[in-house]
Amino acid sequence: MPTMADETEDQVLEAAAPSEEQTAEPVQDAGAEEPVHDDSAAAEALEQVAADVRLSGTLAEMADAWIDLQRPATEGEYLMENLARRYEELLGSFLGAAQAGPEAQHTVMKLLVKQLARAQADIFALKAAVLGRDKLVLTRDWEYRDPLQAYYDALGETATTAHPRNFSRYNLPLDSSIMGFGWYATEEGGGNYWRWSGPGLASGLMVPRLFEGPVRMEARIKMLNRSVMPESGLVSINGRAMDYSLTFDDHDAAFATVGFDLDLGEDRSPFFMLEFKLAGTTSPKEEFGSADTRQLGVCLLRLEIVPKQLG
């Protein structure tokens, strides 16, 4: 089934291709000087536009794959469709003249405005999904309603009061929806996910910024051998080394908790990079004689974020 990104890409390529009328030789007065046209530059520009739209469509598909927004059955309107339409109307009010003509560049501009509007809606929905709001609804007069309340209304429930989520603490899911580097494939068991770092010494996670102000972060880890742990410099945020505590379990030396305080201050980025740097790796084959030859660092079992004022 063709996607919106595929249709957009086809439309852009059709718009970029000259029609028969456009390719016909123009009739020129005998004494007129032949104008100089840089056809190669124009073609290159349109080709670049098509490539940009193709990339934008790919990114939009990736965002769609991570977002599962459910559409209420009755009066509620699907957020992303309507939000994209509003963005398109706003952009159109500033770019009307650039979209008004029949030429290829006008068609390309129209498609770019549509793609930009869709991307803006995707970004909004992605941020909302990170915050756990999986049912976002706007009323027909564009007034925002609480998502849970709107969902109950749409399904005909009798509930009149929405119960806000409690974000006093948050366990970050460690499944494949969280991007990172330096990890083996995510493993699962009993509804839980975990990741082993390796084979290199550095590994990181792109962590969503869920809270304003200072937070306490705690990582529950496991290791095959304590020799993989460095004497210092285990944790860094956005490349900056952090002060941290490392507490090994009394009952099992293979488990430990890494804790540190974080305050991003004026940094308004929606994500930050959490990085672990180890002193070494080891393999189950070396430690226990098993068939697993992977070079493992630490196993990340849980990552908890707690606002300091609530912790």
pLDDT recorded at residue 272 = 87
- Token couple for 247: 């507490």
- Token couple for 21: 């009328």
pLDDT in tens, 1-15: 444 444 444 443 344
pLDDT in tens, 80-113: 566 666 666 666 665 665 556 666 666 666 677 7
Which amino acid is present at 7? E
pLDDT recorded at residue 229 = 95
Q: Both ends of the chain: CA-CA distance in Å?
A: 49
- Token couple for 173: 């899911």
Higher pLDDT, 143 or 265: 265
- What is the pTM assigned to this prediction? 0.48
Mean pLDDT estimate for the chain: 70
Backbone phi, psi, residue 189, to 5°: -170, 130
Q: Tokens 């056809």 identify what position?
A: 39
pLDDT recorded at residue 65 = 43
Residue 175 banded pLDDT, cuts 50, 70, 90: confident
**Cα 231 to Cα 246: distance, rounded to the nearest angstrom:** 10
Q: Is the separation of the CB atoms in 195 and 173 below 8 Å?
A: no
70 pLDDT more than 50: no
pLDDT recorded at residue 304 = 92
**Cα 25 to Cα 5: distance, rounded to the nearest angstrom:** 35
Listed in sequence order, the residues at least 6 apart from 79 whose beta carbon sits closer than 8 Å to its beta carbon are 69, 121, 124, 125, 136, 137, 138
169 pLDDT more than 60: yes
In angstroms, the Cα distances linking 94 to 46, 50, 66, 100, 103 are 22, 22, 32, 12, 19
pLDDT in tens, 243-276: 999 999 998 989 999 999 998 877 777 888 999 9
Listed in sequence order, the residues at least 6 apart from 252 whose beta carbon sits closer than 8 Å to its beta carbon are none
Q: What is the crossing angle of helices 4-16 and 39-66, to 10°?
A: 180
Residue 308 banded pLDDT, cuts 50, 70, 90: confident
**Where do the domains of the chain lie, and which CATH numbers do they carry?**
4-20+38-154 (no CATH), 170-307 (2.60.120)
Percent of residues, the chain, with pLDDT higher than 90: 30
Closest residue by Cα to residue 255 from 226, 235, 280: 226
Reduced DSSP (H G I as helix, E B as strand, rest coil) percent helix, strand, coil of the chain, to 5: 35, 25, 40
pLDDT recorded at residue 202 = 95
pLDDT recorded at residue 81 = 64
DSSP 228: G
Q: Is the separation of the CB atoms in 241 and 233 below 8 Å?
A: yes
pLDDT recorded at residue 213 = 81
Higher pLDDT, 179 or 87: 179
